[in-house]
Structure 1
């Protein structure tokens, strides 16, 4: 992938940002992003950025993927989150055996949804498994061709192991149950499988996925692209979130000129010292969050280039540092929204949607500072992390 190709994707996404912002109200009304948003990202090449080059993908580095996802998030929080889900899931699909990858990447711009909460079961049967279960908060399922489903595998001795199956989205049903105050456009409905047959080559154990040791692959993940399962996901989540914060900051700056402060003698809010302090504080929090994420990505790339997985301690640091970056960005958006005045509550004013999306996405279990800082803190103190999600 050349620098010019990366810039081509970035330019196309930047050009699409005004349209993504304009479509925000419609995305909320229909509880799913407009098709125009998907088409613009498709044309820009966004859905190919994590697809392996051997299947016609762009195979971007994590740093370049993060740049693209931040740009999408600048335009629309829901669209940015969906792009992150589809892109990161495509990256994870490269962990499956060759036979599955050929099926999945028959379309280099494949969109894959899914999650890692094992709320389903895989029962062994001839040639594979029967999948049953339901998965809530399945972001992107309405626009995906494939879906990653975490489940417990029932073993003959009565015990269970965790595994991740990938199935055509057409074989699952989608409930109309997404009615939310934030992330409304993600259409993150509940998906359900009932006795869906999954061939053996489309099921990977949690351990193999985490350690990048899946059997049945003659072509390993592209050199320099094996970032580790959860560290990769968390970096991509943080990138999309920081894009939302940057978008809120831009909207705030656009909104301020010419605004006075009601019931005061101030006819230009920019002249008020409090507004100046709020603006600088928010800008610095976002920049600090971006710098922290940049360090995370730099470390992950160093490990990937060396053909190594991040160390145990580094994985714990990634969890804590990405969550802390999100916390800083969330605080920045809160400052900007508070400084925006009462008229900002109107649905026609985009910053209120960026604020609600930032609040909502920050509640996602994978981004919660309390959970992630606990894991990092335990490891820093020489304790067991008390979680397999590293």
Structure 2
């Protein structure tokens, strides 16, 4: 088992101390449709936004497993805050794939928050010294509190060919719509961002192929040994942390609720004494632990590959997608078991359980994280077929 660094230990301790505050701020954050500023300030003070920044820029450069531990704890406090933190931190790691000139601009303060619109719903054309960007990106989680936005676009070359690229853009150069009206992950502020005739310097643009294969040259100049993870595998691994953290929180809330609670319309004075409650609690506990154990297998593999200076094989990348899908399904099943014994009181907006339940089930519909999508990719490779997916 890897030894946790002192920096990671300190941040984890600080985050655990603020979990009650993050949880208590949930209702207000939902009312605002964006996490309260106190949550961001507390995470910033804890050093969370430095964890994926290379040390040469004043960051902490924590390992993937350390980052996942921290993100899990944040999500145990607030699902929306955890999801936003996943977006900001995973995108900060993605910034290390850019040329050194871009990294010096992005990481100049040592602490950074980067959101992303990863569906190429925009067009980009060449211009002197760079490109001109036009388009809009929906579901841009955390963009309201980000410094930069990593945006996918289709680059149209003069010869008519098109390739997908990722542009790094300061958020203050974008327009953010007030269009996030949903029933889950309400406080993520995942609004639509848009750009009109926005100039992007060439050094802030990498192709999808460069990002996925790690061939942009960025990682080689940052001196971060053992941090060259596979892009999609890295994003998926960090995202699963949010689901596990929310499932843990839902479990904690129900365990606290059922103790000493009479069961309405029955002779049961303490719900904790009822066999069905005991069975569902044990079932949920086991499924959450199973999800954590499964996640640990691919986290270990990804770190071993990075430490060896190797990229995971295509089969291993597909395995990450599949195992992540199963882990998310396990967390869904865990909170569903808890939901079955939650009682009518859990419907109250003051009850934290219902928020974790809604957020987890809603975020399981995310295109990249939907369990069946990952299972299909993994299943194809297990059957000796081509994975038939670019998202590996």
- What is the TM-score normalised by the length of structure 1? 0.98
Query: Hey, what does 1:345 align to over in structure 2?
Result: 347
SS at the partner of 2:216? coil
1:256 matches 2:258? yes
Q: How does 1:151-170 map to 2 (within 5 A)?
A: 151-170=153-172
1:334 matches 2:345? no
- In 1: Cα distance, 2:217 partner to 2:10 partner: 36
Of 336-345 and 95-104, more deviation after overlay is shown by 336-345
Q: How does 1:108-127 map to 2 (within 5 A)?
A: 108-127=110-129
Shift of 1:2: 6.9
Shift of 1:385: 1.3
Query: Hey, what does 1:281 align to over in structure 2?
Result: 283
SS at the partner of 2:97? coil
SS at the partner of 1:243? helix
- In 2: Cα distance, 1:22 partner to 1:237 partner: 23
- C-alpha distance 335-216 of structure 1, shift in aligned 2 (>3 A): closer
Q: Is the 8 A contact 1:282 1:333 kept in 2?
A: yes
State the superposition RMSD in angstroms.
1.2
CA deviation profile, 1:102-128 (whole Å, cap 9, x unmatched)? 000012111000032111111001000
Which of 82, 85, 96 in structure 2 is aligned with 1:83? 85
Shift of 1:218: 5.7
Query: Hey, what does 1:223 align to over in structure 2?
Result: 225
CA deviation profile, 1:333-354 (whole Å, cap 9, x unmatched)? 1111221101100000100100
Query: Hey, what does 2:185 align to over in structure 1?
Result: 183
- In 1: Cα distance, 2:27 partner to 2:109 partner: 31
- In 2: Cα distance, 1:218 partner to 1:9 partner: 27
Q: How does 1:53-202 map to 2 (within 5 A)?
A: 53-202=55-204
Which of 43, 46, 57 in structure 2 is aligned with 1:44? 46
SS at the partner of 1:117? coil
- In 2: Cα distance, 1:235 partner to 1:173 partner: 30
How many residues align structurally? 390
Query: Hey, what does 1:242 align to over in structure 2?
Result: 244
Which of 300, 306, 310 in structure 1 is aligned with 2:312? 310
Query: Hey, what does 1:33 align to over in structure 2?
Result: 35
- In 1: Cα distance, 2:220 partner to 2:201 partner: 19
- In 1: Cα distance, 2:225 partner to 2:132 partner: 34
- In 2: Cα distance, 1:364 partner to 1:313 partner: 23
CA deviation profile, 1:296-347 (whole Å, cap 9, x unmatched)? 1000001000000000100000001011101101110111122110110000
- In 2: Cα distance, 1:383 partner to 1:217 partner: 31
Where does structure 1 lack aligned partners over 5 or more consecutive residues? none
- In 2: Cα distance, 1:342 partner to 1:20 partner: 24
Q: Is the 8 A contact 1:78 1:357 kept in 2?
A: yes
1:10 matches 2:36? no
Query: Hey, what does 1:205 align to over in structure 2?
Result: 207
CA deviation profile, 1:133-157 (whole Å, cap 9, x unmatched)? 1100000100001000001100111
SS at the partner of 1:94? helix
Q: Is the 8 A contact 2:97 2:217 kept in 1?
A: no
Shift of 1:217: 6.6
SS at the partner of 1:151? strand
Q: Is the 8 A contact 2:100 2:222 kept in 1?
A: no
Shift of 1:384: 1.3
Where does structure 2 lack aligned partners over 5 or more consecutive residues? none
Q: Is the 8 A contact 1:165 1:203 kept in 2?
A: yes
Query: Hey, what does 1:358 align to over in structure 2?
Result: 360
- In 2: Cα distance, 1:351 partner to 1:128 partner: 48
Shift of 1:220: 4.4
